[in-house]
Amino acid sequence: MIRIVDFDPRWRAEFARLNIDWLERYFVVEPIDRTVLSDPESHILAAGGRVLFAVDGQARVVGTVALKHEGDGVYELTKMAVDPASQGRGIGAQLLVGAIAAFDAMQGSELFLESSSKLDTALRLYERHGFHHRPAPRPGSHYARADVYMVFERS
């Protein structure tokens, strides 16, 4: 049984560990990653964002995702990661559904994400849950690895 729960400071290290793990596997950990992952309270929560965790029946964190408030009701879905030992169990989908519910609860006006075309499985997951490929509204990204921009749209 997996529960999706809000941030708790005792899981700060898990937030960083899960994200650093996948970043090191596929890319590199960029300075912006280290900044946000080391202090989600200042860089995500203080601005009105959320950090969610997937917690298993033994109270172990097996996944995480964040909603970073960009202002005016616009949120970035970011820092989504599932422990490699727990992948393939639908935890990413549960985190995504939880993040969309949190976005709705905050009465957000736009939810977007930046990703990489190298992450086929993640992109398919986002597409199945209502994210659509769109041109980025500004040139470049704050992530060197990002070459995909998607926006959540209800069907």
For residue 47, the model assigns a pLDDT of 96
- The CATH architecture that domain 3-152 belongs to is 3-Layer(aba) Sandwich (3.40)
Q: Where are the domains of the chain?
A: 3-152
pLDDT tens digits, one per residue of 126-145? 999 999 999 987 776 778 88
Q: Which residues contact 42 (CB under 8 A, 6 or more apart)?
A: none
**DSSP 8-state symbol, 56:** -
- Compute the average pLDDT of residues 106-123: 96
Burial (0-12, 13-18, 19+ Cβ within 10 Å), 154? exposed
pLDDT score, position 50? 98
Residue 139: what pLDDT? 73
When pLDDT is averaged across residues 13-32 and rounded to a whole number, the result is 95
Distance between CA 43 and CA 27 in Å, rounded?
A: 22
Confidence of residue 25 (pLDDT cuts 50, 70, 90): very high
| Region class of 79: left (phi > 0), else alpha (psi between -120 and 50), else beta | left
Residue listed under structure tokens 């529960």: 3
Give residue 64's pLDDT band: very low, low, confident or very high (50, 70, 90): very high
The pTM for the full model equals 0.95
